[in-house]
């Protein structure tokens, strides 16, 4: 039977392996359309004609961002909670955290007046002097002044005092303990600072404060325990601020502008002496009294013996 000229007879070699079938080259199979990449001009024209709708920005998780909160006369800068860095599994590294914060400050309408004071609520986050300075630079560019650091980390408190910020040293929180603290709760561990406390700096600590250096005029030391200044005390010192009168303020040179023990207040004498010896401020007969450290130690030692203690030469 003669082949039909209207169509090419193609035999599947898989069905008939014994016969070679010639294919007429003049009959070409229809082309299958292939998608070609659009040129830049075509792409530009397409975008101009039908622009894609803008994608909404993903919501910001406040737990991973630095946030400012208005507290009336000052702002509070809240640090994000959780892990502190990518190495610890945190959502943002320190550099990204600062970058996002800077962009939000520059991109939004400020709700503060120029030179507004900022308190950094660092909580239990560990910060060094370099990181605190980086935060200060960003706030300064936005006409804000970082004045105080509130932290429960001792290293952060020491770094803040070294740079020159006021510090509120908080007790470390135990999130597993939900019951109120029992009465007679012991004080926090002493806070040791090897620096000069400069004018305008206030340090608050729920325990004893030990300063290996001077406390300059205009500085303030507030402790729930004792205060010991291994240098010149020339600022304000308030020991036993929780109401405990059995606390002491000690200094190698006692030149304070004001002394406070619990609820009692004493100001500096009008004509301070010229011979400075280590002295102790304590409460006696419902008033603040100051005695030389040697005499106070002897008096305290005699009182201890009167309560039944036995003297000893051995240590």
| CATH number for the domain that contains residue 148 | 3.30.750
Please tell me whether residues 167 and 194 are part of one structural domain: no
Rounded CA separation 250/227 (Å): 6
Residue 37 covered by a domain: no
Range of the domain at 288: 185-315
At a CB cut-off of 8 Å and minimum separation 6, what does 70 contact?
111, 112
Q: What pLDDT, on the 0 to 100 scale, is given for residue 274?
A: 67
Q: What pLDDT, on the 0 to 100 scale, is given for residue 27?
A: 45
pLDDT at 80 over 50: yes
In this structure, what DSSP letter does residue 212 have?
S
Q: What pLDDT, on the 0 to 100 scale, is given for residue 298?
A: 82
Mean pLDDT within 41-51 = 51
Please tell me whether residues 155 and 195 are part of one structural domain: no
Burial (CB count within 10 angstroms: exposed 0-12, middle 13-18, buried 19+), residue 215: buried
Residue 8 covered by a domain: no
- Based on the structure, what is the number of domains in the chain? 2
Residue 40 covered by a domain: no
Please tell me whether residues 169 and 220 are part of one structural domain: no
Residue 223 covered by a domain: yes
Q: Which of 147, 174, 201 is the last residue of a domain?
A: 174
- Alpha-helix runs per DSSP H in the chain: 40-49, 94-107, 129-141, 154-163, 293-306
Q: What is the pLDDT of the chain when averaged over all its residues?
A: 77
Q: Which of 125, 152, 174 is the last residue of a domain?
A: 174
Please tell me whether residues 74 and 152 are part of one structural domain: yes
């Amino acid at each position: 039977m003669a082949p039909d000229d209207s169509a090419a007879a193609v035999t599947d070699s898989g069905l008939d392996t014994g016969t070679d079938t010639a294919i007429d080259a003049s009959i070409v199979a229809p082309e299958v359309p292939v998608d070609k990449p659009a040129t830049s001009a075509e792409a530009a024209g397409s975008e101009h004609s039908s622009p894609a709708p803008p994608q909404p920005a993903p919501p910001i998780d406040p737990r991973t961002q630095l946030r400012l909160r208005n507290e009336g006369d000052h702002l509070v800068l809240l640090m994000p909670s959780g892990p502190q860095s990518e190495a610890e599994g945190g959502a943002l590294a320190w550099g990204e955290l600062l970058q996002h914060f800077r962009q939000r400050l520059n991109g939004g309408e400020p709700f503060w007046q120029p030179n507004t004071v900022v308190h950094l609520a660092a909580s239990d986050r560990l910060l060094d002097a370099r990181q605190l300075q980086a935060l200060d630079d960003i706030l300064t560019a936005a006409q804000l002044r970082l004045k105080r650091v509130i932290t429960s980390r001792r290293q952060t408190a020491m770094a803040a005092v070294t740079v020159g910020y006021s510090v509120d040293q908080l007790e470390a929180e135990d999130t597993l303990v939900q019951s109120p603290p029992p009465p007679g709760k012991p004080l926090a561990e002493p806070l040791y600072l090897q620096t000069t406390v400069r004018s305008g700096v206030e340090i608050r600590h729920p325990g004893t404060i030990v300063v290996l250096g001077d406390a300059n005029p205009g500085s303030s030391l507030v402790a729930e325990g004792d205060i010991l200044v291994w240098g010149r005390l020339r600022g304000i010192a308030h020991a036993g601020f929780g109401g405990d009168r059995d606390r002491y303020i000690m200094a190698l040179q006692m030149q304070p502008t004001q002394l406070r023990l619990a609820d009692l207040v004493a100001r500096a004498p009008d004509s301070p002496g010229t011979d400075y010896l280590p002295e102790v401020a304590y409460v006696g007969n419902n008033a603040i009294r100051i005695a030389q450290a040697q005499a106070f130690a002897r008096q305290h030692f005699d009182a201890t013996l009167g309560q039944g203690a036995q003297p000893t030469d051995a240590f």
